[in-house]
Amino acid sequence: MAKKKIAKKKTAANAKAAPKKTSGAKPAGRTADKALVKFDPLQRYLTEISSYKLLTREQEKELGIRVREQGDKDAAYRLVTSNLRLVVKIALEFQRVWMQNLLDLIQEGNIGLMQAVKKFDPYKNVKFSYYASFWIKAYILKFIMDNWRLVKIGTTQGQRKLFFKLKKEKQKLIDMGFEPKPKLLSERLGVSEREIVDMDQRLDGWDVSLDAPLKEDSDTERIEFLSTSTESIEDQVSKKEIEVLLHNKIAEFRKKMSPREIEIFDLRIFSDNPVTLQEIGDRYGISRERVRQVEKNIIKKMREFFKKEIPDFASYTEDGTAE
Q: What is the structure's pLDDT at 66?
A: 94
- For residues 140 and 176, membership in a common domain is answered with no
C-alpha to C-alpha distance for 312 and 263, rounded to whole angstroms: 29
Query: Quick one: pLDDT at residue 156?
Result: 54
Mean pLDDT for all residues in the chain: 75
Q: What pLDDT is attached to residue 150?
A: 41
**Which phi and psi angles does 213 have, rounded to 5°?**
-70, 155
Backbone angles phi, psi at 75, to 5 degrees: -65, -40
> Among residues 229, 106, 3, 131, which one has the least CA distance to residue 98?
106
**For 275-293, how does the pLDDT look when each residue is reduced to its tens digit (9 = 90+)?**
888 888 888 888 989 888 9
Share of the chain above pLDDT 70, in %: 66
Tell me whether residue 219 is in a domain. Answer: no
In the predicted model, what is the mean pLDDT of residues 234-260? Answer: 80
Predicted confidence (pLDDT) at residue 3 exceeds the cutoff of 70:
no
Residue 21: the pLDDT is: 46
Asked if residue 170 is part of any domain, the answer here is yes
Q: Is the pLDDT of residue 250 over 80?
A: yes
pLDDT at 132: 93
Q: Please give the model's pTM, rounded to 2 decimal places.
A: 0.41
Q: Which carries the bigger pLDDT value, residue 19 or residue 217?
A: 217
End-to-end CA distance of the chain: 117
Shared domain for 193 and 112, answered yes or no, is no
170 in the same domain as 140: no
What pLDDT, on the 0 to 100 scale, is given for residue 147? Answer: 73
Residue 232 has a pLDDT of: 60
193 and 160 in a common domain: yes
Which CA distances in Å does 168 have to 173, 188, 189, 204, 281? 9, 12, 11, 15, 55
* Cα distance between residue 205 and residue 6, in whole Å: 84
Pairwise CA distance, residues 226 & 114, whole Å: 30
Q: pLDDT band at 19, cuts 50/70/90?
A: very low
Most confident stretch, 23-32, 54-63, 150-159, 249-258: 54-63
Question: Beta partners for 221?
Answer: 213
Quick: pLDDT tens for 65-101.
999 999 999 999 999 999 999 999 999 888 776 667 8
3-state secondary structure of 213: strand
Residues 124 and 170 in one domain: no
pLDDT of residue 223: 56
**CA-angle at 13, arms to 7 and 16, nearest 5°:** 145
Final residue before a domain boundary, out of 109, 129, 148: 148
- Are residues 185 and 131 part of one domain? no
User: Which domain range does residue 67 map to?
Assistant: 46-148
| Same domain, residue pair 141 and 155 | no
Indicate whether 165 and 128 sit together in one domain.
Answer: no
Say how many residues make up the chain. Answer: 323
Q: Which pLDDT value is given to residue 166?
A: 74
pLDDT digit string (tens) for 131-177? 999 999 989 888 877 776 544 444 455 566 666 677 777 778 788 88
Please give the tally of structural domains in the chain: 3
Domain co-membership, 143 together with 63: yes
Region 255-275: mean pLDDT is 85
Confidence of residue 106 (pLDDT cuts 50, 70, 90): very high
Q: Domain check: are 244 and 258 in the same one?
A: yes
Task: Summarize pLDDT for 187-232 with one digit per residue, the tens.
Answer: 888 878 887 777 776 665 444 555 666 566 666 665 555 555 556 6
DSSP secondary structure string for all residues of 15-53: HHHSPPP-TT---HHHHHHHHHHH--HHHHHHHHHTTSP
- What is the predicted pLDDT for the residue at 316? 54
Q: What percent of the chain has pLDDT over 90?
A: 21
Q: Does any domain span residue 39?
A: no
Are 139 and 58 in a shared domain?
yes
Q: How far apart (Å, rounded) are the C-alpha atoms in residues 185 and 162?
A: 11
Tell me, yes or no, whether 253 and 284 share the same domain: yes
